[in-house]
Amino acid sequence: MPAAVFTHPRIASVGATEQGCRDRGVDYPVGTAGQVLAEPGTGRILGAHLMGARASVLIQPLVLAATLGIDAVTLAKSPYWIHPAPTEVVENALLDRPPARTVKGNLRLRAPSAREDDQGAGV
């Protein structure tokens, strides 16, 4: 179930957490400001967690993908993403995750700051 907390910065999430993945023995990429947790081998999105000025908006395509079983690469390569736009943060996070195999790797996802968001930048 997706959720958002409208604090400063905003926080949004859907699906599994890092702890839930650890408990199930699933390896996953780890981010800093946010993360996309994907199943090794299939790339199926297990969960996503974002923090930043537009987190509650940026989580939407990840909610859709997790709900419909769309894998990370398929979502990233779909004609959804506009350039330049804040949604590129999510697209880049999907494309920057490790190859579909059982490894742990780094993933950096940065949502726009409130100042960047107000200026229409942030990617």
Q: Which residue segments constitute the domains of the chain, with CATH numbers given?
A: 3-108 (3.30.390.30)
CA distance 13 to 60: 10
Whether 33 has a pLDDT exceeding 90, the answer reads no
CA distance 91 to 70: 13
What would the mean pLDDT of 89-101 be, rounded to a whole number? Answer: 68
In percent, the amount of the chain with pLDDT more than 90 equals: 34
**8 pLDDT tier (thresholds 50, 70, 90):** very high
Provide the annotated active-site residues: 83
Q: How big is the CA angle at 70 (ends 48 and 121), to the nearest 5 degrees?
A: 50
Task: Give the global pTM.
Answer: 0.72
What would the mean pLDDT of 97-120 be, rounded to a whole number? Answer: 42
What would the mean pLDDT of 75-99 be, rounded to a whole number? Answer: 80
